[in-house]
Structure 1
Amino acid sequence: MSMIGEHARLAPAELSRAIQDPDWGWDFVEEHLAADPGDGTPVPGGRLHSTGKMWHALEYLLKRRGVEVNVVHGEEEVPGAEDWGCGPPRTITPERVQLAAEAMAAITPEGLVEGVTPAELASAGIYPYADSAPDGRLADAAVAYQDLNAFIQTTARLRHGLIAWIA
């Protein structure tokens, strides 16, 4: 079974409602999942984003590059939320999304993986590299970052917040 990083973009009032009523937040996600074409292609302007199996590598690489906002797991646990897969969802406020977007705008996909080897990720226990051959492709992490960065930039531009979870 694969673990997948997931994000939902919410306007400030929606984010507040999801924090107050986590069941409403899950219903919001399910409604948007039902409208998704399901082919894994990022939908421009879409409310949902998946980092796929690259979530752990992205978290490691972004931290290594000094991004202080945890855009992969989120920051504040949604109080009273059920497990959305591998634990409860976590939020990122619009202000923290803006901070993340500024930091990420300065990092190219190539720059994110520069000086890192698949063997380093494997030895650090970073999923999915720890579960694969040591010659795993860093290009996969760079592409996942490019898509995540675009989603974060859109979220910041709209002054929205995020809910993140690992499914």
Structure 2
Amino acid sequence: MNGEYLRVTAAELARAIEDPVWAFEYVEEIMETDGINDVAPTDARQLTTHKAWHAIAFLLERAAFPIDVVHGEHTFTSEDWGYGPAKYLDADQVKLAAESLARLSFDDLIREVDPGQLTAEQIYPLHWDETDALEWVRRWFAPLSPFFGAAALAGEAMLVWLD
């Protein structure tokens, strides 16, 4: 179960909303031709937070983050894209997320967090007893800020889903 993102232009977002089947096929095409996390986050069209998505959601919710960057804000399809329907963030929400991520350090995000809390909350993937568990989350969280920042600078929206 992985958290996935695809940067899309306004025209691509409009088409995705109008034709979710096209959107799914487009995502599959991009994922087959582009390597996920193989380029710098500022240059990437797609990004994964791997299995850290749930921990990231937990930490951001705990910090009262203003946008749901893990699950998205708007549903545009009822079709299951792996683990539920895909959602999206419009360009304004991407911009707000980018600005908020730029002001948020991971160290602040995990301050006063005990990995046992993640176990108690049954945060996927339930390996929080490992000594470097939160550092593993940092690895997947770190690309979000530059990825969202680049999308915001380009005026792009974001498709968001779990697969």
- State TM-score, norm by structure 1: 0.89
Q: Could you give the per-residue CA deviations for residues 26-61 of structure 1, whole angstroms, max 9, x where no partner exists?
A: 1211121111236x5454412111000000000111
- Identity percentage over the alignment? 35
Q: How far does the alpha carbon of each residue in 1:95-115 deviate from its partner, in whole angstroms, 9 at most, with x for none?
A: 011111111111112222222
Going from structure 1 to structure 2, the CA distance change for 1:124 and 1:36 (only over 3 Å counts) comes to: same
Partner of 1:89: 86
Pick aligned residue for 1:25 from 12, 23, 26: 23
**Structure (1/2) with the larger strand percentage:** 2
> Structure 1: where are the runs of 5+ without partners?
none
Unaligned runs of 5+ in 2: none
- Over the aligned positions, Cα root-mean-square deviation in angstroms equals 1.6
Q: Is the 8 A contact 2:86 2:161 kept in 1?
A: yes
Quote the residue 2:130 is aligned against: 135
How far did residue 91 of structure 1 move?
Answer: 0.8
Mapped pair 1:76 → 2:71: no
Match of 1:62 in 2: 60
- Matching residue within 110, 113, 124 for 1:116: 113
**Structure 1: which amino acid aligns with 2:129?**
P
**In the alignment, does 2:149 pair up with 1:157?**
no
In the alignment, is residue 35 of structure 1 matched against residue 33 of structure 2? yes
- Report the equivalent of 2:9: 11
* Count, aligned residues: 161
**2:128 & 2:114 partners in 1: Cα distance?**
12
